[in-house]
Amino acid sequence: MLRGGDSGLPGVVAGKPDESYLLDVINHAYPDRKMPPDEDKLPAKEIALLTRWIKEGAVWPGQMDAKLDETVDHWSFQPVRQEFAHDSIDAFLQEKLDDAVLKFSDPAAPQALIRRASIVLTGLAPTPERTAAFVAAFDRDADAEYSALLDELLASPHFGERWAQHWLDVIRWAETNGSESNMYRKNAWMYRDYVVRSFNEDKPYDTFIREQLAGDTMGAGDATGLLVAGPHVPAGTVGFEPTAIRQARADRMDEILQTVGASMMGVTIGCARCHNHKFDPITITDYYSLTAVFQDIEFGGRFPELADDHRRVVKEKQLLQKLEGLRADMRKIGWGWIEDWQGYQEIRFPAQSTEGLRIAFDGGWVMADELEIFTADEQRRNVALEKAGTTLRENPATFQEGKPATKLVNGIFGTKQWLAKSPKGTKERPWLEFYFAETTKIDTVRISTNREDFLETDYLQGMNKISYGDFKLAVQEDGNWKTFSATASMKKRADENEKRKTLQEEIQAVIDEMLIHGRQPAFVARFIEPAATFVLDEAVRRTLETKCSPPL
């Protein structure tokens, strides 16, 4: 209204009715743009009232530059005061009962007491045997036996399962997205189990909160599932209309703020998405400042960052040690081999010191989403990335508009980012050439068709079907490309050599076990690169400052 919308003109210029576009449209000054559009003009009396309002300054309470009343007297915003003038809760209750001429209920029978305590604390009724034992002991020493029962129930693993549900309800956690598609969230249970463990470990509340907001920095990456617990519309169901994409992103950010606001702040802050909150001291500026905190968060999955003593990390280290032993045995045989990691394949070959790598595909139609080339050292650097100083070429004859090979090495796992296709009636085949900044020792290529599927939707069969087929590997030597390995020959030799075949099967068995018992991708949010900061030229900024109301 104040800055100008699609028309580019501000609807209201305070104190200047003649420059206020709002008055033009309600006076039907333009035949093709009238408000109301299909009815007669507003009554002259109402137009005069709006004109007077603008002429007197267009005072508009409750908007972005309005100051809120900071003297909110709602109890939830008051500081905690120590005013409890009683020695115990029982004494406080007794006083209130006396005022109302009431008395405490009669003590519960031991059978009722153990049932109530068990269901409240664990959600499970006691067994007949446990009830009988409690009743017998209760007759001897009621207070001691009841205290022992409470300690027992609080120590039960079912305590965390029972009480975690309350927190999960508050943040609206579910294993599907909700909305119309209601798609499954892969391994969302990892966050649920984190909450259960937190209750059972009696984790301090401040630690519980910090881990859910920044668990990736605290060895508790599974805790960040809080931020994406609410419903959302998956990006794949939105379409390609830019405004729809922006709207869906804004909706997802709003879900994050609603979760944080309701669970940790105890207030509903969603109202401030459109205007200053009418009841709570939250402005629209506060709302969008808070969204800035979470701009690098997106609904989706990743491998959560876990502490070194986490059972999955410990198990993965044990399996990885076993896997490295098998790989060493395979290297002694020579050649190379292929490892299937479900979301991607790793092609391992004898280490090559080279200034470049050429990948020539056998088929005429290739689709892939990400390709990595790893160094043969402890750092295991991905030298396929541009930031490593590597340049990339693809066969111009198979290039497809909108699906360039640069998308293969952008570090973003998605669905079929690169497409290459041989022209009809030609023998041209897709190929990629990587030129390293310096001579580099490499021994692994990792490639996938749809790694997003592995991270989020592998419950749908066929989603991760390989669409790149076999290929040959060549290194640069004296300015020429020399082929040294091929995936087709790796597969053939694995079938022909019994020892090699056995090792291949053992390697794959360890990988399969690691995919189950080691670290797994989970629906605990994924991180995205924040948008680049836009810096205005100072002259442009000064111009905008004079044109915008309120100022930038």
Q: Please, which pLDDT band fits residue 183 given cuts at 50, 70 and 90?
A: confident
Greatest alpha-carbon pair distance for the chain in Å reads: 101
Residue 221's contacts (CB-CB under 8 Å, 6 or more residues apart) are 215, 302, 303, 304, 305, 306, 524
Is residue 421's pLDDT more than 90? yes
Give the mean model confidence (pLDDT) for residues 44-61.
Answer: 91
Give the mean model confidence (pLDDT) for residues 186-208.
Answer: 96
What pLDDT shows up at residue 343? Answer: 85
- Nearest-5° angle of CA 350, CA 352, CA 355? 160
Q: Please, which pLDDT band fits residue 443 given cuts at 50, 70 and 90?
A: very high
How many Cβ atoms are within 10 Å of 245's Cβ, its own excluded? 13
Is residue 509's pLDDT more than 80? yes
Distance, in Å, from the CA atom of 42 to the CA atom of 276, rounded to the nearest integer, reads 28
Token pair in block for residue 441: 């020792």
Q: Please, which pLDDT band fits residue 145 given cuts at 50, 70 and 90?
A: very high
Is residue 63's pLDDT more than 70? no
Residue 127's contacts (CB-CB under 8 Å, 6 or more residues apart) are none
* Digit-coded pLDDT (tens) for 524-546: 998 887 654 444 445 544 544 54
Q: Please, which pLDDT band fits residue 66 given cuts at 50, 70 and 90?
A: low
Q: Please, which pLDDT band fits residue 380 given cuts at 50, 70 and 90?
A: very high
Which of 190-204, 238-252, 329-343, 476-490 has the highest mean predicted lDDT (pLDDT)?
190-204
Q: Which residues pair with 365 in a beta bridge?
A: 421
State the pairing for strand pair 297-298/365-368. Answer: unpaired
Half-sphere exposure of 79 (CA within 13 A, CB side): 2
Q: Please, which pLDDT band fits residue 548 given cuts at 50, 70 and 90?
A: very low
Distance, in Å, from the CA atom of 347 to the CA atom of 335, rounded to the nearest integer, reads 11
What pLDDT shows up at residue 209? Answer: 96
266: left (phi over 0), alpha (psi -120 to 50) or beta: left
What pLDDT shows up at residue 241? Answer: 85
Which of 112-126, 183-197, 221-235, 276-290 has the highest mean predicted lDDT (pLDDT)?
112-126
Lowest mean pLDDT among 146-160, 254-268, 352-366, 519-533: 519-533
- Using a pLDDT cut of 70, give the percent of the chain over it: 91
Is residue 7's pLDDT more than 80? no
What pLDDT shows up at residue 551? Answer: 38
Query: Is the full-model pTM beyond 0.85?
Result: no
Distance, in Å, from the CA atom of 360 to the CA atom of 345, rounded to the nearest integer, reads 16
Extents of the domains making up the chain: 1-60, 162-298, 331-505
What pLDDT shows up at residue 450? Answer: 83
Is residue 552's pLDDT more than 80? no
Lowest mean pLDDT among 231-240, 266-275, 297-306: 231-240
State the pairing for strand pair 431-448/370-375. Answer: antiparallel
Give the mean model confidence (pLDDT) for residues 466-494.
Answer: 91
H helix or E strand, kind and range, residue 454:
none
Token pair in block for residue 213: 């907001």
H helix or E strand, kind and range, residue 51:
helix 44-55
The mean of the pLDDT values for the chain is 88
Token pair in block for residue 409: 């090495």
Is residue 106's pLDDT more than 50? yes
